[in-house]
Amino acid sequence: MAGTPQYIRNLNENLIMDALIAQGTMSRADISRQTGLSKPTVSSAIEHLMERNLVRETGRADNAQGRKATLIRFNETAYYVFGIDIGATRIRIALSDLNGEIIAYRTYPMVIHEANDQAEASILMLLRSHINELLHENQLNWNQIQCIGFGIPGVVRPESGRISRIVDPLAGLEQAFSLESLSGAFPCEVILENDVNLAALGEYRSGAAAESPLFVFFSIGTGTGAGIMVHGQLLRGLGGLTGEIAEMLVEDDRRLEDVLSAEGLMQLAKRHLHLKGASFETVIRSVDAIADEDEDQVEGNLHRYLTPEKLFAAVRSGEAVALEIMTQYSQRIASALRHISVVLAPELIVLGGGVGGNGDVLLPLLKEIVSKQFPVQPQLIGSKLGEQAVVTGAVQVAVQQTLLNLQQEAME
Number of C-beta neighbours around residue 273 at 10 A:
21
> What does the pLDDT look like over 361-406, one tens digit per residue?
999 999 999 999 999 999 999 999 999 999 999 999 999 999 989 8
What whole-number distance in Å separates Cα of residue 129 and Cα of residue 144?
17
pLDDT (mean) for 347-355: 94
pLDDT higher than threshold 90 for residue 274: no
Q: How many CA atoms lie within 13 A of 347 on its CB side?
A: 10
> What does the pLDDT look like over 161-216, one tens digit per residue?
888 888 888 888 888 899 999 999 999 999 999 999 999 999 999 899 998 999 99
Q: How many CA atoms lie within 13 A of 369 on its CB side?
A: 18
Describe the strand order of the beta sheet including 145-152 as a list of residue ranges.
Answer: 102-109, 90-97, 80-86, 145-152, 189-194
Q: Which of 285-289, 296-300, 321-325, 385-389 has the highest mean pLDDT?
A: 385-389
> Which of the pair, 7 or 45, is modelled with greater confidence?
45
Reported as a pLDDT band with limits 50, 70 and 90, residue 251 is: confident
Collapsing DSSP to helix, strand or coil, 364 comes out as helix
Q: What is the CA radius of gyration of the chain?
A: 25
Reported as a pLDDT band with limits 50, 70 and 90, residue 62 is: low
Reported as a pLDDT band with limits 50, 70 and 90, residue 99 is: very high
What whole-number distance in Å separates Cα of residue 164 and Cα of residue 155?
5
Reported as a pLDDT band with limits 50, 70 and 90, residue 278 is: low
Instruction: Give the per-residue pLDDT at 412.
Output: 56
pLDDT (mean) for 46-74: 80
Q: Please state the separation of Cα 152 from the chain's center in Å.
A: 10
Describe the strand order of the beta sheet including 224-230 as a list of residue ranges.
Answer: 233-234, 224-230, 214-220, 348-352, 379-382
Instruction: Give the per-residue pLDDT at 411.
Output: 59
> What does the pLDDT look like over 164-176, one tens digit per residue?
888 888 888 888 8
pLDDT higher than threshold 50 for residue 95: yes
In what helix (H) or strand (E) does residue 216 lie, and over which residues does it extend?
Answer: strand 214-220
Q: Residues with Cβ < 8 Å from 370, sequence gap 6 or more?
A: 334, 337, 377, 378, 380
pLDDT higher than threshold 50 for residue 262: yes
pLDDT higher than threshold 50 for residue 289: no
DSSP 311-326: HHHHHHTT-HHHHHHH
10 Å CB burial of residue 393 (0-12, 13-18, 19+) is buried
What whole-number distance in Å separates Cα of residue 8 and Cα of residue 14?
10
> What does the pLDDT look like over 109-137, one tens digit per residue?
987 766 566 777 888 999 999 999 999 99
Instruction: Give the per-residue pLDDT at 114.
Output: 62
pLDDT (mean) for 95-101: 95
Model's pTM, two decimal places?
Answer: 0.87
Beta strands in 279-394 (DSSP E): 348-352, 379-382
In what helix (H) or strand (E) does residue 183 lie, and over which residues does it extend?
Answer: helix 179-185
Reported as a pLDDT band with limits 50, 70 and 90, residue 5 is: confident
Instruction: Give the per-residue pLDDT at 343.
Output: 92
Span between the terminal Cα atoms of the chain, in Å? 9
Alpha-carbon separation of residue 46 from 63, 372, 400 (angstroms): 21, 60, 22
What whole-number distance in Å separates Cα of residue 319 and Cα of residue 247?
33
Reported as a pLDDT band with limits 50, 70 and 90, residue 157 is: confident
Reported as a pLDDT band with limits 50, 70 and 90, residue 409 is: confident
Reported as a pLDDT band with limits 50, 70 and 90, residue 293 is: very low
Collapsing DSSP to helix, strand or coil, 160 comes out as coil
Instruction: Give the per-residue pLDDT at 280.
Output: 56
